[in-house]
Amino acid sequence: MRRIAVMNQKGGVGKTTTTLNLAHALAMAGRRVTALDLDPQGQLGDGLGVIANGHGGMDEVLLSHAPLHDVLQPARAQLLVAPAGPRLSEFEFMSEGGARRGMFLKEALQAGLGDGDGIVLIDAPPSAGLLAMNVLMAVDEVLIPVTGEYLALHGVGRFMRILQHIDESLERKTKLWIALTRFNERRRMAREVRDKLLEYFPGTVLATPIRESAAVADSPGVALSIFEYQRRGKGADDYRALADDLLNARTL
């Protein structure tokens, strides 16, 4: 089972939109997908029209050790979603459990999903707290959405250093991917950022940039993926291709 976190500590990069649309694209490609909302804002669940039911969401999994399968809900064919739940932000202040607190998500995934052949996509919080640590400890791959802006490079470099420190401590190697989002080929800065990413992080930039699109930005607001909102638009084409890049390790 592939366990992939979609992560960036910088806001406005399309993190949740990318998680949502990739999850649906992978499901439409025939993969069994489980999407987990670990961002207390809860926008992944909202964007797919899934809210915490009587069993709660990821808040209950982390705070009360509820079984993961209790909070998973069908969102689309081949796609299950665990919403954030209203109490997820409380986990950042949890003092019980000592160092083991950083492993709660990994343990929940292992108990709830095992080592099957599906794909887990996690919408990570835009922070460096306990929730983010749980995400990093639970995954084997990290996908970083990056916009074509100068400050985006600094954010990626800072995050890479954090991840490298964790990998060295755990004696592991997390697979890294970078997805270009809100990309406008006509902007010189966007092209320069892309070229710098290719120079600094070779073999990690997925081949398909997600072009800037009003439809991509608007679709989560009406609880639809881009494939439901504008099936024949460039946003749907881009995310379909990006999912294929991820499945086949196709990079620039």
- CATH number for the domain including 102? 3.40.50.300
pLDDT 10s digits, 142-195: 999 999 988 888 889 888 888 999 999 889 999 999 999 999 999 999 999 999
DSSP of 16-61: HHHHHHHHHHHHHTT--EEEEE-STT-HHHHHTT---BTTB-HHHH
The model's pTM: 0.96
Q: Which domain holds residue 241?
A: 2-248
Q: Give how many domains the chain has, as a whole number.
A: 1
Question: Tell me: the pLDDT tens digits for 97-154?
Answer: 777 899 999 999 999 997 778 999 999 998 889 999 999 999 999 999 999 988 888 8
